[in-house]
């Protein structure tokens, strides 16, 4: 309460107000978790423009955020690890923070935790007009894993193209590393062995390109818990007029071929109306094999969170909001960039919203029927204002207690810093 607010109140009313303020508020799902750094929020600087784009939670509840730091001297992978109490974990590289130089500008985009606790961060290197997939693997103590690639790092490209890179990473049941991103204007998928070598059992050379049309990019990848198939989702632009972006979802067999049991050609485009644009930015697979992809749908009036659920054969799931699609509006311009599936089947989507004044973190939770969950936040939605411009990028659930971890960035108008938030479930 601001200074002077008690003036004009009687002694009795002041005492009553103090008692009311002192009474603990009922904790609700979607509230920031005060057990995490006292506020539910933690801001971390690497000394440059710092952007966290991926998040993962270890089996002990420690949170790993990954992205990149951009300085005048160059751009490098950046990784931070936090204790369950929200402190930088000094058991990780002595400081809780680590940067990795690939020899050219490198942009971390996503993180995954192996069963043995090793941390995999994926992204791309950039050298002029050329770019390549880039992957780093860290031991639990934050050192680069010398048993992976070359000194803990691996870079590679795609045949006959000069531009490729990873936007997401997943670990399959055999410990292989599956990456998804772009090869010029197509979906690009690659698989590495546990030692960081391109896996030649995956489409012959460890790489696969999926072409939806004139301009495609994959932003998310997930492994089906049912049969180990690989699901990739992103932006698939139509090839006929009028040109529009569509949710693009592709399913590959464990051998890297398009799965013809999925929509008969391994590929699905989903729209939110013939005159709107829509694209997927994250994907997850439920325990029953159904595919959940989230992203954005936009039209002349603004942009909203978008969610699509597909059956195992690639058709839209009518048990999800009636037609397999759901959109959610927070403010003027909303974008879902991360998704996580709770044990009870509820769906958590995280990203950002532009309020007309500034950007804020946005989080939504949906029921098993893809409707906003009224027990979460305000009618299923939560927004968080950290400093000034804040954006969520990815979400993950703690295997310890189910709490929701979100990573992104925040800015006071000068530099950007990592921000990590934890919410009650």
CATH assignment of the domain containing 57: 2.130.10.10
Asked if 178 contacts 189 with a C-beta cutoff of 8 angstroms, the reply is yes
Quick check: is 68 in a domain? yes
d(CA 165, CA 152): 18
Residues 6+ apart with CB under 8 A from 87: 37, 96
Nearest to 293 by CA among 259, 330, 338: 338
Closest to 84 (Cα-Cα) out of 127, 128, 40, 27: 40
Predicted pLDDT at 413:
86
Q: Could you tell me the pTM of the whole model?
A: 0.93
pLDDT of residue 395: 98
- Which long-range contacts link 6-12 to residues 24+ away (Cβ below 8 Å)? none
Q: Quote the domain boundaries for residue 220.
A: 34-423
Residue 188 lies in a domain: yes
What letter would DSSP give residue 283? E
Let me know if residue 5 belongs to a domain. no
Sequence-distant (≥ 6) Cβ neighbours of residue 154 within 8 angstroms: 133, 134, 135, 136, 148, 192, 196
Residue 258 falls inside a structural domain: yes
pLDDT of residue 300: 82
Number of domains present in the structure of the chain: 1
Beta strands across the sheet bearing 177-183: 164-171, 177-183, 186-192, 207-210
Residue 371 lies in a domain: yes
Torsion over CA: 95, 398, 326, 241 (sign): positive
Residue 215 domain-assigned (yes or no)? yes
Q: Measuring CA to CA, which residue among 101, 94, 93, 95 is closest to residue 119?
A: 93
State the pLDDT at residue 166.
98
Q: Would residue 318 count as lying in a domain?
A: yes
Return d(Cα 393, Cα 32) in angstroms, integer: 17
Quick one: pLDDT at residue 1? 27
- Give CA separation, 231 vs 208, 253, 331, 392, in Å: 13, 9, 31, 23
The pLDDT profile of the chain, 425 residues, written as one tens digit per residue, is: 223 332 333 333 333 433 334 445 678 999 999 999 999 999 999 999 999 999 999 999 999 999 999 999 999 999 999 999 999 999 999 999 999 999 999 999 999 999 999 999 999 999 999 999 999 999 999 999 999 999 999 999 999 999 999 999 999 999 999 999 999 999 999 999 999 999 999 999 999 999 999 999 999 999 999 999 999 999 999 888 788 999 999 999 999 999 999 999 999 999 998 879 999 999 999 999 999 999 999 988 899 999 999 999 999 999 999 999 999 999 989 999 999 999 999 999 999 999 888 999 999 999 999 999 999 999 999 999 999 999 999 999 999 999 999 999 999 888 999 999 999 99
Q: Are 408 and 66 in contact (CB under 8 A)?
A: no
Rounded Cα gap, residues 358 and 336, in angstroms: 17
**3 assigned to some structural domain:** no
């Amino acid at each position: 309460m601001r200074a002077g607010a008690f003036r004009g109140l009687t002694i009795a009313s002041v005492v009553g107000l103090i008692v009311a303020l002192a009474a603990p508020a009922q904790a609700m799902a979607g509230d920031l978790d005060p057990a995490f750094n006292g506020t539910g929020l933690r801001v971390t600087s690497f000394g440059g423009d710092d952007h966290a784009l991926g998040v993962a939670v270890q089996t002990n509840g420690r949170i790993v955020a990954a992205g990149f730091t951009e300085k005048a001297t160059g751009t490098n992978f950046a990784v931070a690890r936090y204790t369950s109490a929200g402190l930088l974990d000094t058991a990780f590289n002595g400081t809780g923070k680590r940067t990795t130089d690939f020899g050219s500008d490198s942009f971390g985009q996503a993180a995954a935790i192996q069963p043995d606790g090793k941390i995999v961060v994926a992204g791309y290197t950039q050298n002029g007009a050329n770019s390549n997939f880039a992957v780093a693997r860290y031991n639990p103590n934050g050192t680069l894993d010398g048993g992976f690639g070359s000194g803990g790092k691996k870079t590679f490209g795609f045949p006959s193209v000069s531009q490729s890179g990873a936007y997401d990473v997943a670990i399959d049941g055999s410990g292989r590393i599956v990456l998804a991103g772009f090869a010029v204007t197509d979906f690009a998928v690659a698989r590495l062995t546990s030692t960081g070598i391109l896996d030649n059992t995956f489409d012959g050379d460890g790489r696969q390109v999926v072409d939806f049309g004139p301009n495609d990019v994959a932003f998310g990848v997930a492994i089906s818990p049912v049969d180990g198939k690989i699901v990739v989702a992103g932006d698939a632009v139509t090839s006929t007029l009028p040109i529009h972006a569509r949710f693009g979802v592709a399913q590959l067999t464990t051998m890297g071929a398009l799965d013809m049991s999925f929509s008969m050609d391994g590929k699905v485009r989903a729209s939110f109306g013939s005159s709107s644009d829509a694209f997927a930015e994250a994907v997850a697979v439920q325990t029953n094999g159904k595919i959940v992809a989230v992203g954005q749908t936009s039209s002349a009036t603004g942009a909203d969170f978008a969610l699509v659920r597909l059956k195992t054969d690639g058709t839209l799931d009518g048990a999800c909001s009636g037609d397999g699609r759901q959109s959610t509006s927070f403010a003027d311009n909303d974008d879902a960039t991360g998704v996580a599936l709770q044990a009870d089947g509820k769906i958590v989507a995280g990203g950002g919203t532009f309020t007309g004044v500034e950007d804020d973190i946005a989080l939504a939770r949906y029921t098993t029927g893809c409707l906003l969950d009224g027990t979460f936040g305000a009618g299923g939605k939560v927004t968080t204002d950290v400093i000034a411009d804040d954006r969520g990028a990815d979400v993950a659930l703690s295997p310890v207690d189910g709490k929701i971890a979100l990573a992104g960035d925040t800015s006071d108008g000068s530099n950007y810093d990592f921000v990590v938030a934890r919410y009650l479930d």
